[in-house]
Amino acid sequence: MDAPYAIVEQLEPGIARVLAHNPSAFTFYGTQTYVLGDRELAVIDPGPDLPEHLDALEQAIAGRSVMAILCTHTHRDHSPAARPLAERTGASVIGCAPLSLEAVGPRADASFDGDYLPDRVLGDGEVLEIDGEALQAVATPGHTSNHLCYAWRGALFSGDHVMGWSTTVVVPPDGDMAAYIQSLEKLRGRHDRIYYPAHGDPVTNPQQYVRHLIGHRMQREKQILKMVREKPRPIAEIVGNAYPGLDPRLVTAAGGSVLAHLLDLQRRGLVESRGEEWIAA
Ligand SMILES: [Zn+2]
């Protein structure tokens, strides 16, 4: 694929990007790692543990000191390079929490990086100083329960919460649609000038884009509720109707997102599950 793998792209003063070579139906061209700062750096979403990608990151860092390696969440396309990069640079791994395996049952599936172990976890609103300016963690659960965005110099590094190429996959049990929409609402209350997502182009009209994403989820919810009110339906049938012409590689993820909507509707007392089928409550 013709994409700038292992090349350091300077997006604006103090913000560089390196694309990792892990293209897929879920990652677009791959994971985009950001290098922030001029003298004291931070690295956001180091990505998959690929030697070629780590070499390119080292080139972007160019011997300067790295204050923090930050992950937005712990999917395998985001965090596995954190520890190897920490070993190469002497930096600490700071940011999102490891995924907690709660009593309700295992929340993690194969897409999770079970080896992620941060030196320090940041809570919502916590601040680190990077190159003399505040970098702030913005808790944005939904895509995963541990997802953080990071705000710095008016830019928001949005991870997989808001992406520049596709809507975000929200798959239960760790993915939560109500939390996801609430986290979109949270961004509406902010005034970031640009989003730099982990996948896809920068978002240069954040407010308008987030409004559009919320509208899209509301539309989808309405559509699912209407279908279930017509007659009892299994998830596969809802996916078939709601996503005509869907890439077969994305059917499972779409089923996850439909389930996330149904669980949210169930919590609000609007639908119920009966065996394989979902019915109106
Ligand atoms: Zn990702």
Tokens 């407010």 -> residue: 207
pTM for the complete prediction?
Answer: 0.94
Q: How far apart (Å, rounded) are the C-alpha atoms in residues 258 and 243?
A: 10
Give the pLDDT score at 105.
60
Q: Is the pLDDT of residue 103 over 70?
A: no
CA of 132 to the centre of ligand 1 (A): 29
CA of 159 to the centre of ligand 1 (A): 7
As a whole-number percent, the residues of the chain with pLDDT over 70 amount to: 96
Question: Taking CA 273 as the corner, what is the angle to CA 271 and CA 276, rounded to the nearest 5 degrees?
Answer: 140
Distances (CA, A) of 153 to 14, 133, 262: 9, 7, 38
Q: How long is the chain?
A: 281
CA of 144 to the centre of ligand 1 (A): 11
Q: Is the pLDDT of residue 275 over 90?
A: yes
Give the pLDDT score at 25.
82
Q: How far apart (Å, rounded) are the C-alpha atoms in residues 124 and 126?
A: 6
CA of 5 to the centre of ligand 1 (A): 16
CA of 58 to the centre of ligand 1 (A): 21
Tokens 């009892």 -> residue: 232
Give the pLDDT score at 109.
72
Q: How far apart (Å, rounded) are the C-alpha atoms in residues 119 and 130?
A: 17
CA trace torsion 182, 188, 189, 194 (10° rounding): 130
Mean of per-residue pLDDT scores for the chain? 94
Q: Is the pLDDT of residue 211 over 90?
A: yes
CA of 125 to the centre of ligand 1 (A): 22
Q: Is the pLDDT of residue 250 over 90?
A: no
CA of 281 to the centre of ligand 1 (A): 35
Q: What is the mean pLDDT of residues 214-236?
A: 97
CA of 241 to the centre of ligand 1 (A): 27
Distances (CA, A) of 54 to 29, 44, 58, 201: 17, 13, 6, 22
Q: How far apart (Å, rounded) are the C-alpha atoms in residues 123 and 136?
A: 10
* Residue in 195, 208, 185 with CA at minimum distance from that of residue 160: 195
Instruction: Please indicate whether residue 31 or residue 246 has the higher confidence score (pLDDT).
Output: 31
CA of 148 to the centre of ligand 1 (A): 13
**Which of 92-106, 110-124, 184-198, 255-269 has the lowest average pLDDT?**
92-106
Reported confidence tier of residue 185, pLDDT bands at 50, 70, 90 = very high
Reported confidence tier of residue 61, pLDDT bands at 50, 70, 90 = very high
Q: How far apart (Å, rounded) are the C-alpha atoms in residues 133 and 269?
A: 46
